[in-house]
Amino acid sequence: MRIILIGPPGAGKGTQAESIKAKHPIAHISTGDMLRENVRSGTELGRKARVFMDAGQLVPDDLIIDMMRSRLRADDARSGFLLDGFPRTTSQAEALDRLLGEIGTDLDAVILLEVSDDTVVKRLTSRRVCSSCGAIYNLTVRPPKIDGVCDFCSSKVIQRDDDKESVIRNRLAVYHERTAPLVAYYEARGLLHRVDATSAKDSVLTYLETLRAKG
Ligand code: AP5
């Protein structure tokens, strides 16, 4: 499987990726997670990216494309990958095409997670994440068993810095302006599949298994 998950912030890309990974071992490549790791460890990339992330803006294309150039060549991505949060602009999509051409591979599908802006705001203001393993929670629909403590690794569960309502609204505006055009880009190539992101948290896994069964 060489798949892109695309959709607005809070559509459930990370959540759907968790359920796919639990059933099919696959490299889950999340540019958001990679950037947050760089911020945490204080790398030069992390320092540059943080300013944009905190404001809900996109990190410049050249930084993202450089980061992905080496990530897509890593051993674990050879047999397939699930891209979450990349590409996010037409330039990134074109760069991805070039990178895949260099590696000698292609995409199988682009899954668009469809959800309204109101749902996104509700979900993201109540999202919490594990500060260590990254497990995703929601105070309304999926709280940790013990308040503030990760079910999987017992680390602290926190709110992401960019999950404040004003920043969420910026991220949504940026999505509609810069990322939504990718829907037409991949639709024109016959790669786009639409999945309702308000249904089950494993709806993408179910959809992919149906696609596979059809051959
Ligand atoms: P990134 O981390 O990629 O954030 P995002 O795209 O805004 O997506 P999120 O992680 O917020 O949401 P998600 O869709 O994964 O939803 P989740 O599963 O957590 O990027 C962060 C920042 O990094 C960007 O703003 C940008 O600055 C920078 N960046 C990253 N990639 C970049 C790139 N390529 N180019 C430039 N800059 C880049 O779910 C959300 C909540 O909803 C959770 O609480 C969850 O429990 C709940 N939920 C999920 N599914 C369901 C469901 N089916 N029903 C009910 N609740 C659900």
214 Cα to the center of ligand 1, angstroms: 30
Binding site membership of 123 for ligand 1 (Cβ less than 6 Å): yes
**Would you say 156 and 162 are in contact if contact means Cβ atoms under 8 Å apart?**
no
Active site residue 21: no
Pairing of strands 157-158, 192-196: unpaired
Active site residue 127: yes
Residue nearest to atom 17 of ligand 1 (CA): 12
Identity of the residue numbered 106: D
Mean per-residue pLDDT of the chain: 96
Alpha helices in 60-180 (DSSP H): 61-71, 90-103, 117-125, 165-174
Residue nearest to atom 40 of ligand 1 (CA): 10
Mean pLDDT of 61-67: 97
Question: Where does the pLDDT of residue 214 fall: very low under 50, low under 70, confident under 90, or very high at 90 and above?
Answer: confident
pTM for this model (two decimals) = 0.95
Mean pLDDT of 98-121: 96
Mean pLDDT of 114-131: 96
Residue nearest to atom 23 of ligand 1 (CA): 32
Binding site membership of 138 for ligand 1 (Cβ less than 6 Å): yes
Backbone phi and psi for residue 156, each to the nearest 5 degrees, phi listed first: -70, 140
Residue 45 tokens read as 């990339």
Q: What is the pLDDT of residue 212?
A: 85
Mutate to test the pocket of ligand 1, among 38, 138, 157, 158 (most ligand atoms within 8 A of CB): 138
What is the distance between the alpha carbons of residues 213 and 113, in angstroms, rounded to a whole number?
21
Pairing of strands 127-130, 136-138: antiparallel
9 Cα to the center of ligand 1, angstroms: 4
Q: What is the DSSP string of 88-119?
A: -SHHHHHHHHHHHHHHT----EEEEEE--HHH
**Would you say 83 and 29 are in contact if contact means Cβ atoms under 8 Å apart?**
yes
What are 19-51's pLDDT values in tens digits? 999 999 999 999 999 999 999 999 999 999 999
Question: Where does the pLDDT of residue 111 fall: very low under 50, low under 70, confident under 90, or very high at 90 and above?
Answer: very high
Mean pLDDT of 119-133: 96
Mutate to test the pocket of ligand 1, among 123, 158, 204 (most ligand atoms within 8 A of CB): 123
Pairing of strands 109-114, 81-84: unpaired
What is the distance between the alpha carbons of residues 161 and 128, in angstroms, rounded to a whole number?
10
> For the chain, percent helix, then strand, then coil, each to nearest 5?
50, 15, 35
Mutate to test the pocket of ligand 1, among 13, 66, 178 (most ligand atoms within 8 A of CB): 13
Q: What is each CA distance from 179 to 90, 171, 183, in whole angstroms?
A: 8, 10, 8
In the predicted structure, residue 67 carries a pLDDT above the cut 90:
yes
Residue 92 tokens read as 């990134």
Residue 19 tokens read as 């359920």
Among candidate residues 13, 71, 123, 128, the one labeled active-site is: 13
